[in-house]
Structures are given as structure tokens and as C-alpha cells.
Homo-oligomer: A and B are copies of this chain.
Amino acid sequence: MSNNLTVKVFAPASVANVAVGYDILGFALMGLGDDVIIRKGKVEGLTIKTIHKGRSLSKDPLKNTAGVSAIRLLQSLGLEREPLEMEIYKNMSIGTGLGSSAASAVAGALAVNAYFGNPYSKMQLLQYATEGEQVADGAFHADNVAPSMLGSMILVRDNKTLDCIKLPVPNGLRVVVVYPHIQILTKDSRRVLSPNVSLKQHTQQSANLGAFVASLYKTDFPLMQRCLNDLIIEPQRAKLIPGFMDIKRLGLDAGALGCSISGAGPSIFCLCNNSHIAENIHELWSNYYTDKKQLFDCFISDINKEGAYVY
């Protein structure tokens, strides 16, 4: 099955949690993401030849999310001895809360799959990509991996069995993301979370998730605005991100449908139902962190409906 093909794959960044779906909801972004190239190697097994712009990452395939996802897939195909060479382009910083490690894991699995003639569907590849992502994250969950692979807004009904539902994305929905250049340690981001929630909070928050799903099917933006409200996770994590409450207030006052922390942070996202509002928020957020002399990146994106692709 070995060949002389060179396969290039792009896998997008993603926003997980999305205010109402801690660990179970995420959507893919446009433009930002990682590339992985797979070609025939010179020695047995998978070698990571180069990681562009990702100096802190290991070139040991077993310590790299793209490497692990590729190897797990190769094992499942019985091809782990095939000589393969991987190149990774980390086009996004590490620790942004925008699914960088998940994007690499997705690209690794999809590239190997394409190299061997696509034996698996994208849905089947989720297993290997999620195993890859686990190297970085510790937990086995697909709220970044699944949207990066499949595109769109994904509800992970069950992380164990990767029961993923692709939800519809209304036309006109736009995202603004701001990434303040600060570091949040994942363990801090986890440690601040109480292991329990009140039954009342659970009830209210699941109603918000259920209503958010309905708002996507109905293209009901006013409903989306009423339910995009995190009663549980965001209040506990907000203090880890300097300026979060100001940024959120600026976004909501300017007409965002909702604004919350992307994944474990520090990136912050908002959803808007038109470009004018999105551009306004982009300017407000940029001015805010500029005034505070805080380095940042800020961009506007559509929700990526395609997910990872071979090019």
C-alpha cells in the first residue's frame, strides 16, 4: 500500500464549550488551523521530520497529538511499520483555548487516512484523533476534535462512544475571537471548577443548551441570545482572564448574541448575527487590549462548515 504521494491536510481551530455545552459542544473556525504533510519516509514507522512554528512541541510521535493520532490509525490499519514522514505547521499558538492540539490531532489522522486511500470516514477517524488529543489534554473528549474534523457546530452526546451530532448553522452567524497573550495552565483552569453543581443550576443550564440546539434548527437569533448564558463554568473561570468581564460587557452591549470563554481560555469569543456588529466588536475589543497594553490577536470568522480537508 506504500506510495509516493504527498498528502497535505488542513484542520481548523475550534471553539469548545460555547457557553452552554461544557465538554460537549464546539464549532470550527475559518482560516486559523494547523497543516500536516505526510509523505513516504526513509525508515520504518512514522517519523516527525519538522514542526514549523511549534518549537515547544515534541518531535517524538508518541508525545505529539498529530503523531499519536496518526500512529493509532496506522495500528488499526496494521500499517504501523510503513515508512512515513510527517511535517507539521503549527499556524496557531499553543494554549490559546482554540483547539490547537485538537487541530493537529485531526490533521494527523486525516492525512494518514488520505495517504492510504481513505479507508475510514471522517466520523470513524474521530476515535484516533481524540486519542491523539488526549496526549495534550489528559481527558478523552471530542468537543474540539469533532468540530475540527467534521466542521459546523457539533454536540457530543457521549464522549466515551463519540456519539456526535452535526447541528445546523444558520446563515449569517459570525464569530469574533480575541486571544489575549496570557498563559493559563490547564490544571488551574480545571482546579477552579467545583465538582458539583446545584440541581437548580443543572436544570437551568440544560434548558439553555436544549434551547440553543432548537435555536440553530429554527434560525431563531432572539432565542439564541436568551439562552447563550453560562451559569456554571464561566463564573468560575472568568477571574483567570484579565479583562474578561469588560470584554464580555463590550460585546453584549454592541449586540452580540452571546459571549463567553473559548474552551479553557484565555481566548474569548462572541457570536453575532451580522457582520456590522462583528466588525464593531472587533474594533472595541482591539482598542480595549491596546489601551491596556496587553498583546492580543483579534479576528472575525464564519463558522467553518467543512472541517478538516485534504488539499
Contact = CB atoms under 8 A, between A and B. Distances in A.
B203 A157 contact: no
A196 B199 contact: yes
Interface stretch (A16-24, A86-94, A99-107): A16-24
Interface of A: 21-25, 155-158, 163, 165, 167, 193-199, 201-214, 217, 223, 226-227, 232
Contact of A205 (B156, B206, B212, B226): B206
A310 B302 CA distance: 48
Given A195-B199, A199-B194, A207-B155, A214 B167 contact: yes
A212 B163 CA distance: 13
A23 B203 contact: yes
30 contacts: A21-B210, A23-B203, A24-B203, A155-B211, A157-B207, A158-B204, A158-B207, A158-B226, A165-B223, A167-B214, A195-B198, A196-B196, A196-B197, A196-B198, A196-B199, A197-B197, A197-B199, A199-B232, A201-B202, A202-B202, A202-B205, A202-B206, A202-B232, A205-B206, A206-B210, A210-B210, A210-B212, A213-B214, A213-B217, A214-B217
A196 B232 CA distance: 13
A201 B23 CA distance: 12
A223 B157 CA distance: 9
Contact of A211 (B157, B197, B223): B157
Given A165-B214, A213-B214, A214-B213, A24 B206 contact: yes
A211 B209 CA distance: 10
